[in-house]
Amino acid sequence: MPLSELNHYFIRANELEKTKDFYCDVLGFQVMPRPTFPFPGYWLGVNGKIQVHMGPDGIDNADMYYLGTPKNAATDHAGVVDHIAFLATEPGSFIRRFKERGIDFQPRSLPEFDLYQIFIKDPNGLTIELNFFGMKDVTDWGGENYSKMPQVASMRA
């Protein structure tokens, strides 16, 4: 059940477009493909690897989409970091370990990307996301499915 590498971090951006432009224009990131989440945002990467995710602050249902920062979190310092994500393997081993230790966890799925996720909190309240890619044959993803969540009003057709 090893962690294999840091996958990404998520920024809850005060100004989404300005933040995206900074990462792209100043740091050399490129906009990467992103699932059809029910809220706007970007996945940015370097050399084809996704490294930074971002979404706008101040949207409807933020507590449903952003698992790491409460409504009253600071938005001018570290409070804008919503979560940190790792690539991982063997999700069942993690789930067993969490249950054995009484650690609350929240699974989510992105079936269109063959991705299963588990979110936990560290002792300081920082959200840790574990990503298990290549989960093609899972019929019961467990947890919430992003495609079933209500969309942010500005994204509805």
Length of the chain in terms of residues written? 157
Predicted pLDDT of residue 17: 92
pLDDT tens for each residue of 62-106:
878 887 777 667 666 666 777 888 888 888 888 888 888 888 999
User: Which helix (H) or strand (E) covers residue 59, if one does?
Assistant: none
pLDDT in tens, 122-135: 765 778 888 999 88
pLDDT confidence bin for 31, thresholds 50/70/90? very high
Distance of CA 12 to the CA centre of its chain: 11
On whether the 3-155 domain is CATH 3.40.640.10, my answer is: no
133/51 Cα distance (integer angstroms): 15
